[in-house]
Amino acid sequence: MQNGDEHRLPWIFATKVEQQSMREVVNLCLKGQLISANQIHDAWVLSYFKAGWKFGPIRDYDKKVHPSLVPYDRLSVFEKTKLELCFSIIKALSQNYYSLEGK
């Protein structure tokens, strides 16, 4: 992969922090508590900081550093596009989920 994702693990090998932070973000989106890619990023950053991670130029699981632990407006266009896509997918799936569930 490119743009800093060379060190990303497949979901089944992702750390507990990675899996938990994504689950939290998706759940908040499903509840309507996150309504933008910017808010998704802020929630994700907060979950990583709470788990002891900090900013670093290269993702390092042992040192708990990640290059995307910056404010949303400092992310690359590539990272912002990924977040917009992620938010759009969650939003579309949640609308279908809620319509199927009658909620």
Q: Which pLDDT value is given to residue 98?
A: 55
Nearest to 74 by CA among 42, 46, 51: 42
CA distance 15 to 33: 25
pTM: 0.76
Q: Which residue has the higher pLDDT, 28 or 56?
A: 56
pLDDT per position as a tens digit, 38-97: 998 998 999 899 999 999 999 888 999 999 999 999 999 999 998 999 889 888 887 766
Q: Which pLDDT value is given to residue 1?
A: 40
User: Which stretches of the chain are assigned E, i.e. beta strand?
Assistant: 54-55, 65-66
| SS3 category, 32 | coil
Residue 55: what are its φ and ψ, rounded to 5°? Answer: -70, 140
Q: Which pLDDT value is given to residue 102?
A: 47
